[in-house]
Structure 1
Amino acid sequence: MTAVPIVLAERADLAFADAPGSGPLVDRFGRVHRDLRISLTDRCSLRCTYCMPEQGNEWLARQSILGTVEIERVARIAASLGISTFRLTGGEPLLRRDLEEVIGRLSALETPDGPVEIAMTTNAIGLDERLPRLIDAGLGRLNISVDTIRADRFSDLTRRDRLGDVLAGIRAASESALTPLKLNAVAMRGVNDDELADLVQFAIDHGAQMRFIEQMPLDAGHTWDRARMVTRDEILEALAERWELTAVPGRGGAPAESWRLDGSAHTVGVIASVTAPFCGACDRVRLTADGQMRNCLFSNSEFDLVPILRGGGSDADIEDLLRRCIWKKLPGHAINDPSFLQPARGMNAIGG
């Protein structure tokens, strides 16, 4: 069950060429981009140990955070170029008071091939109260982060006693029309690696798919230790003790590999960004809360939209920046390479 990453060869005639001025958003390796992750804030209602310190965080200045109209403008141009999925992230997107308006504006956009889809990744705190309004605004899919369902462990891991709020949000989502519901957990050695099968069963009980994520070097404190990471193969070995796993074909550009459980309709996913990267099929690009375009989660370079958005730039200028950003995307993130450098920003500031 070893995944083989796609190896991309860089064409010499394209390496230093200018980005194409028309057509889809494509990079030098032929990957067409259809997914824009939009971070709405770097702030969060939790303080997960693998993401940020409990105290002393340096938050983005409020005036630097993109407003609703600015987000809509970038998204409208992206949609016209073929971006069909917009995923709202953070930090915690539910901390945006104008979240319903953001969703409403984005859900009204169309690509040349039809309507867009709006998804959101959240920790679900407060979701139960806002979910009906979010759905009415146009929210179509949900990913909810829950690394443990044990109260004491949750408090230790997130430094907040909020598991009850998270579970209330998950219940509301499971009873809604938003399907398929996905639950995400970062697998961590000595933290929740003894709970993986229980998390899968919890997801099944709520009509959701559990997805495990290999811990990545994206913490704000730069304390990531590969030795503490539970690998894809270890996750599968643990689950195979309870279920027979059958690989689901047709992954496409999805970040998660999926396995069917005991031949049933229930599946589990694994996002193995470290040990089995899926860079060869990546179709994602990111917009940070403060207006920086990033062509890879692990990129050490950004493309600044703020001077265009707030300095009288044209839509053509935004399109040109989007095309240049994606054209300069590297073949992969190279986490396994000794020369890998962790991004200066933590995950909360990049957007999950």
Structure 2
Amino acid sequence: MLDSFGREIRYLRLSITDRCNLRCRYCMPDEGVPPTVHDELLRYEELLRVAETAVSLGINRFKVTGGEPLVRRGCADFIRHLKALSGVRQVTLTTNGLLLPPLLDELCTAGLDGVNISLDTLDNAQYQRLTRRTHTADEVLRAVRLCAARLPTKINAVLLPETADQLIPLAELTQTLPVDVRFIERMPLGTTQTGQTTSADIALNRLRARWPQLKPISEPRGNGPARYFRAPGMQSCLGLIDAVSHGFCDRCNRLRLTSTGLLKPCLCYEQGVELRSLLRGGADDDALRNAMREAILQKPAAHCFQQRENITEHKSMNQIGG
């Protein structure tokens, strides 16, 4: 389906939980956020009904997110059912990787098409400071290696001033692993609204200083807006996601469903269409489809990350759907 600006909406991020086993400084406060009451979370069958309706509107690619989606029991089975829906072309997962190894067989059997793993630093002490937990970057890197041997895998690293010295070590993973490494500008949302980011342009300049032959590539490598680059000697690619400094709203193809059933047309505005009451109130398929169509038509022309006073979304990323 096309939105009111002619953009084709074909990608839906489905958050299945707001809970997480980490407390990353750029995502939520140390004490966490009040967990959602269980009954307020969409049940798996409700999420599948939303997905089935989304397919009828032309959406055929889905990302399962959280919080940390693997903390919710039955995630792999949900992915199996989601992938089996008629018309679904792709189902991928975003995770911090810590719970991934013991579930990898089940996820592969479920038909999962790919995994994005968050890893902002290779330094174990720094990883613990950033996540406020005792897990290590080595644990995540082990999950990356295991996953990359089975599924298309990407590393997502948020560009933070304190991890500037990790840019090159993370990027060098593309020389030894078949894993794209993507650097993401920190979005000014929730508890991080006043936080600082390193711009993608600065990161790109540093990457080109290390790899003078780094060139942009045009081949599609996912559903999102990343710009990809490659240099001789790399098994995989480097990506930049520069929503704050450059923006790519004219190409935005996505919606987000929070774990409580709010269908959001844009990340930085609180507006959305409430689906949970429809799902639990006996609404028929046409009513649900019309509500989702309304959300698509509400999609704004652009976000307002450069005008932070206009941002109306103040929830943490784990509550929005990561």
TM range (shorter): over 0.9
Q: Is the 8 A contact 1:40 1:90 kept in 2?
A: yes
Mapping 1:33-182, distance limit 5 Å: 33-111=9-87, 115-163=88-136, 164-176=138-150, 178-179=151-152, 181-182=153-154
1:241-252 paired onto structure 2 within 5 Å: 241-244=209-212, 245-249=214-218
Give structure 1 stretches of 5+ with no counterpart: 1-24
- Specify every segment of 5 or more residues in structure 2 that has no aligned partner in the other structure, as ranges: none
Larger Rg: 1
Q: Is it true that 1:194 corresponds to 2:169 in the alignment?
A: no
Spell out, residue by residue over 1:73-95, the C-alpha distance to the aligned partner (whole angstroms, 9 max, x if none): 11011112211111000100000
Which amino acid in the other structure matches residue 164 of structure 2?
D
Tell me which of 228, 238, 263 is aligned to 2:206.
Answer: 238
Letter in 2 for 1:186: V
Deviation at 1:339, TM superposition (A): 4.3
What is the Cα deviation at residue 263 of structure 1? Answer: 7.5
Deviations 1:216-275 (A, max 9, x none): 112x324523xx210011001111121022111356963100111237553200000001
* Partner SS, residue 276 of structure 1: coil
The amino acid that maps onto 2:176 is: D
- The reply to whether residue 184 of structure 1 matches residue 156 of structure 2 is yes
Q: CA deviation at 1:342?
A: 4.6
TM-score (norm 1): 0.87
Partner Cα distance (1:256, 1:285) in 2: 17
Deviations for 1:138-181, whole angstroms, at most 9, x for unmatched residues?
111110000011100001000112124322211210221x12x1
Q: Within 2, Cα distance between the matches of 1:204 and 1:287?
A: 36
d(CA) in 1 for partners of 2:28 and 2:163? 18
Q: Is the 8 A contact 1:253 1:281 kept in 2?
A: no
From 339, 342, 345, the equivalent of 2:315 is 345
How many residues align? The count is 319
Asked whether the equivalents of residues 280 and 331 of structure 1 are also in contact (C-alpha less than 8 Å), the reply is: yes
Q: Deviations over 1:278-320 (max 9, x none)?
A: 1101110011000110011112212100111001111111100
In the alignment, the residues of structure 2 paired with residue 264 and residue 292 of structure 1 have an alpha-carbon distance, to the nearest angstrom, of 41
User: 1:120–1:141: 8 Å Cα contact kept in structure 2?
Assistant: yes
Look up the equivalent residue of 2:28 and give its one-letter code.
M
> Could you tell me how far 1:340 is from its partner in structure 2?
2.3
Aligned positions of 1:266-305 closer than 5 A: 266-305=236-275
Percent pairwise identity: 37
Residue in 2 that maps onto 1:229: 197
**Alignment partner for residue 262 of structure 1, among 232, 245, 253?**
232
